[in-house]
Amino acid sequence: MKVLFVCLGNICRSPLAEAIFKAKAQKMGLSNTLFADSCGTANYHIGDSPDPRTFKNAQSNGVEIVHRGRQFSKRDLTDFDWIFAMDKGNLEIILSYTQSEAERSKVKLIRDFDPVKRGNVPDPYYGTEDDFQEVFQILDRTIDNLLVSLTK
């Protein structure tokens, strides 16, 4: 199963989601069956490493993060089984590329799986270290729940 996490720049939220997902899949012994990647809807950070604050946050939470920025492409709608958008703006952008109900049904808002609160994963780019940690906590519990759904 192939899952894709999508945000705007692909340097803060989605590469962290990808890294958390991979770490959890590995702990569950599922790294050979669950493939994860991330990308951004914008082209600002193609080829870039994750934001240094994302790196620092991941490291402080014991998660290894290895990624280079890439932009979402229409092909992702056929290449991936599930596409999880970090917020409604990016969800709408991804949906605007879909051409069938089969494609549309793959695209979800990631916090639909948050056991605490629905909505957007807040963009931490103009925020503080605490905002990055809030993103980590949201993604950590949401991806736990997501993995339960995906492996049912």
Catalytic residue among 37, 87, 114, 123: 123
- Is residue 75 part of the annotated active site? The answer reads no
Q: If binding is defined by CB under 6 A, does position 123 make contact with ligand 4NP? A: yes
- Is residue 13 part of the annotated active site? The answer reads yes
In terms of CB distance, is 40 or 147 closer to ligand 4NP? 40
Helix axes of 129-150 and 13-27: crossing angle, nearest 10 degrees:
50
Residue 91, number of CB atoms within 10 A of its CB = 21
In terms of CB distance, is 34 or 39 closer to ligand 4NP? 39
Choose the stretch contacting ligand 4NP; rule: CB under 6 A; options: 2-10, 19-27, 56-64, 143-151. 2-10
Cα–Cα distance, 58 to 121 (Å, whole number)? 16
The helix or strand, by DSSP H or E, that contains position 7, with its residue range, turns out to be strand 2-7
Residue whose entry in the numeric block shows the structure tokens 């793959």:
106
In whole angstroms, the minimum distance from the beta carbon of 27 to ligand 4NP comes to: 24
Q: If binding is defined by CB under 6 A, does position 39 make contact with ligand 4NP? A: no
Residue 71 bridge partners (DSSP): 40
Q: Which two tokens stand for residue 3?
A: 């899952």
Residue type at 78? Answer: T
Q: If binding is defined by CB under 6 A, does position 20 make contact with ligand 4NP? A: no
In terms of CB distance, is 26 or 44 closer to ligand 4NP? 44
- Is residue 141 part of the annotated active site? The answer reads no
Cα–Cα distance, 105 to 45 (Å, whole number)? 28
Site residues (CB under 6 A) for ligand 4NP? 7-13, 40, 44, 123, 125
The set of catalytic residues is: 7, 13, 123
